[in-house]
Chains A and B, each alone.
Chain A
Amino acid sequence: MSAPPLIEVADLWHTYMAGTPFEHTALRGVSLEVRSGEVVGILGRTGSGKSTLIQYLNGLLRPARGRVVVDGHDLASPRTDLRAVRQRVGLVFQDPETQMFEPLVGDDVAYGPRQLRLPADEIRARVRWAMDTVGLPFERFKDRYTFSLSGGEMRKAALAGVLAIRPRVLVLDEPTSGLDPGARAELRRRIQDLRDREGLTLVLVSHDMEEVARLSDRLYVLQDGIVAAEGSTREVFADAARLAALGLAPPEPVQVVQRLRALGMAVPGDALTVEEAGDAVAALLGARV
């Protein structure tokens, strides 16, 4: 008997501006689950319902139609302890650096734990852990001005602020967009460590297919407010025709392998990343990999 999922969404509907000429149904019966310790990627073109969906995962929105259960808390129930839900699920929005408001980095990261009215030494311990975990060493960065940080450092500080709440699930909306390739690669490594070393469960929303391929175990693809495809990352990216119909394309390394197969070449394996695709093509060409 497997443990119940950490997050369960069943037949969730959401309508914006109901009863007006601008009425728009953003979610039309979405069902998904997030199990403890996995990384779930959510894909879909702009307007497919991704941003609406993730606002349900920590109770920013509460279901009027459908079910959302987070670690045993039913979000439809008026008696649900929303504070408990928000301590379990941390949401990092797109461009989180625009939401930093304390002048010093350490204070900004401490904001969440202070709201929880934790003892001072516990707050300090959490801030130190969160900053060290994202790669902003506590001693070096706690007294830096937030505005003096680089783009990549600001993104890390915002992530640390959510981590300091010690959630079990972290929901990341476009975590590396707008960063340069070096900063992007580093932040991805940090995100991977959160799962591998800290045991966090992750929900990742991203337009960057390379990123999704590297980080996710399973994917859900939304289209017009419904789950149009789901499965393991390799399964979903393997079906290029289906993805194209959903306005997406697999990561370029996967496209390379698919093109070679379409040309009748027997590329071995189910490569997902640059390294895997390169090795598979080398093997095709007779190299011992």
Chain B
Amino acid sequence: MAEPLIVCEDVHFSYPASAGTEPRGRDAAVPAGPPVLRGVSLRIEPGEYVAVVGPNGSGKSTLARHLNALLRPASGRVLVAGLDTRDPAHTRAIRSTVGMVFQHPESQMVATIVEEDVAFGPENLGVPHAELRVRVREALELVGMWGARDRPPHLLSAGQKQRVAIASVLAMRPACLVLDEATSMLDPEGREAVAAIIAELRRRGTTVVAITHLMNEAARADRIIALAGGTVLLEGPPRAVFARADVLRDVGLDLPPVTAVALRVRSHVPGFPIDVLSVDEFAAAVAARAGRPA
């Protein structure tokens, strides 16, 4: 069995109580605010696609920022490819292993031309010119934006900008891509485009951790980690997690719409399966009951 790519062991974290101070905890005089992470332990295996869900304030985004040493635990530890994020000597290696994409792609755009924006990261890593060109092309082709390489990023649509932001991270060839609500501002087509990119990354063996509020998106992952109140509430394959509708509802989380329809059917039709995650699966379940081939 391969080593896990990321390990969180009993991670605790609070932001400083007063606004405007660095959330590093180096200054012992800064009092800590309320705990945001309260003993999170988890593992991410290489090549896995993990969705992290949870209500607002559950600690999802704070956890995401621990995965590439943007934040460091107050107690407990985070290991990325075996490297402890608390050791500043490892920060560079950790950030080239785990790349982050945020909700607003504008926040991470630096250049006036798409191609230069994507080249910025690997250039800073000291990637030689010939190799740089290969990487930029590969990353832009993967996200379907090679044709727009000469365009100014600010003239792109929100979905296109997000694809460029993803390419900019992929050009650094991280082993793991963390998407922090990267699709929440996109239209349905933009979301589908990101889903297709994730599918391609999985084929190539890149690990993906996606923080999301969209349950139909989470349903496509290999595994879901549901956070609530700074701890892991539920963890497992989507079918197992969504079978706990009552537990999810208690913390303000939904089922994917298709699963919710199945649950409604079951309230009238005892025994109707509720472990359906897609329209296809739903249709098959109905066909089996109605005695016809799907």
Q: Which residues of A contact B (CB under 8 A)?
A: 22, 45-47, 94, 147, 150-152, 174, 177-185, 207, 209-210, 247-249, 251-253, 255-256, 259-260, 263-265, 274-275, 277-279, 281-282, 284-289
Contacting residues, chain A, for B105 (C-beta < 8 A):
none
Question: Which B262-289 residues have a C-beta within 8 angstroms of A?
Answer: 262-265, 267-269, 272, 279-280, 282-283, 286-287, 289
Q: Report the nearest A residue to B258, measured CB to CB.
A: A252
In the docked arrangement, what's the CA distance between A151 and B155, Å? 29
Contacting residues, chain A, for B265 (C-beta < 8 A):
278, 281-282, 285
Contacting residues, chain A, for B261 (C-beta < 8 A):
252-253, 256, 274, 277-278, 281
Given contacts A45-B187, A180-B54, A285-B290, contact A278 B283 (CB under 8 A): no
Give the number of residues in B that approach A within 8 Å (Cβ atoms): 49
B292 within 8 A of A: yes
Contacting residues, chain A, for B290 (C-beta < 8 A):
265, 284-285
* Shortest distance from the beta carbon of A65 to any chain B beta carbon, whole Å: 24
Q: Is the beta-carbon distance between A181 and B213 smaller than 8 angstroms?
A: yes
Q: Is the beta-carbon distance between A150 and B253 smaller than 8 angstroms?
A: no
B56 within 8 A of A: yes
In the docked arrangement, what's the CA distance between A150 and B216, Å? 24
Q: Which stretch of B106-114, B135-143, B168-176, B178-186 is in the interface?
A: B178-186
Q: Report the nearest B residue to A277, measured CB to CB.
A: B261
In the docked arrangement, what's the CA distance between A185 and B55, Å? 12
B159 within 8 A of A: yes
Given contacts A180-B252, A264-B292, A274-B264, contact A22 B185 (CB under 8 A): no
In the docked arrangement, what's the CA distance between A47 and B157, Å? 7
Given contacts A181-B252, A277-B264, contact A282 B269 (CB under 8 A): yes
B257 within 8 A of A: yes
Number of A-B contacts (CB under 8 A): 132
Q: Report the nearest B residue to A153, measured CB to CB.
A: B56
B256 within 8 A of A: yes
Given contacts A279-B264, A285-B289, contact A178 B257 (CB under 8 A): no
Q: A46-B157, A180-B213 are in contact. List 12 more A-B contacts (CB 8 A).
A: A45-B187, A150-B57, A178-B213, A181-B213, A181-B253, A183-B252, A255-B279, A256-B279, A278-B260, A278-B267, A282-B268, A286-B269
B238 within 8 A of A: no
Q: Is the beta-carbon distance between B56 and A285 smaller than 8 angstroms?
A: no
Contacting residues, chain A, for B283 (C-beta < 8 A):
256, 259-260, 263
In the docked arrangement, what's the CA distance between A147 and B289, Å? 52
Q: Report the nearest A residue to B252, measured CB to CB.
A: A182
Q: Report the nearest B residue to A258, measured CB to CB.
A: B279
Contacting residues, chain A, for B294 (C-beta < 8 A):
263
B189 within 8 A of A: yes
Contacting residues, chain B, for A180 (C-beta < 8 A):
54-56, 58, 213, 252-253
* Shortest distance from the beta carbon of B34 to any chain A beta carbon, whole Å: 11
* Shortest distance from the beta carbon of A169 to any chain B beta carbon, whole Å: 24
* Shortest distance from the beta carbon of A268 to any chain B beta carbon, whole Å: 13
Interchain residue pairs with CB less than 8 A apart (24): A45-B188, A94-B185, A150-B56, A178-B184, A180-B55, A180-B56, A181-B213, A182-B55, A184-B213, A207-B186, A207-B188, A249-B188, A255-B279, A256-B279, A260-B283, A274-B257, A274-B264, A278-B262, A278-B268, A279-B264, A282-B268, A282-B272, A285-B269, A287-B269
A-contact 0/1 string along B192-226, CB 8 Å cutoff: 00000000000000000000010110000000000
In the docked arrangement, what's the CA distance between A178 and B290, Å? 39
Q: Is the beta-carbon distance between A278 and B264 smaller than 8 angstroms?
A: yes
Give the most central of B159, B253, B257: most A CB within 10 Å.
B257
Q: Report the nearest A residue to B160, measured CB to CB.
A: A46
B134 within 8 A of A: no
In the docked arrangement, what's the CA distance between A46 and B254, Å? 26
B73 within 8 A of A: no
* Shortest distance from the beta carbon of A246 to any chain B beta carbon, whole Å: 10
A-contact 0/1 string along B139-155, CB 8 Å cutoff: 00000000000000001
Q: Is the beta-carbon distance between B257 and A252 smaller than 8 angstroms?
A: yes
In the docked arrangement, what's the CA distance between A29 and B108, Å? 36
In the docked arrangement, what's the CA distance between A208 and B16, Å? 36
Q: Is the beta-carbon distance between A207 and B187 smaller than 8 angstroms?
A: yes
Q: Is the beta-carbon distance between A256 and B282 smaller than 8 angstroms?
A: yes
Q: Report the nearest A residue to B250, measured CB to CB.
A: A182
Q: Which of A249, A255, A285 contacts B272 (CB 8 A)?
A: A285
* Shortest distance from the beta carbon of A274 to any chain B beta carbon, whole Å: 5
Q: Is the beta-carbon distance between B279 and A259 smaller than 8 angstroms?
A: yes
B14 within 8 A of A: no
A-contact 0/1 string along B66-94, CB 8 Å cutoff: 00000000000000000000000000000
Q: Which of A247, A275, A285 contacts B264 (CB 8 A)?
A: A275
In the docked arrangement, what's the CA distance between A47 and B161, Å? 13
* Shortest distance from the beta carbon of A168 to any chain B beta carbon, whole Å: 29
Given contacts A180-B252, A278-B264, contact A284 B155 (CB under 8 A): no
B190 within 8 A of A: yes
Contacting residues, chain B, for A209 (C-beta < 8 A):
188
In the docked arrangement, what's the CA distance between A260 and B283, Å? 6
In the docked arrangement, what's the CA distance between A22 and B184, Å? 28
* Shortest distance from the beta carbon of A286 to any chain B beta carbon, whole Å: 8
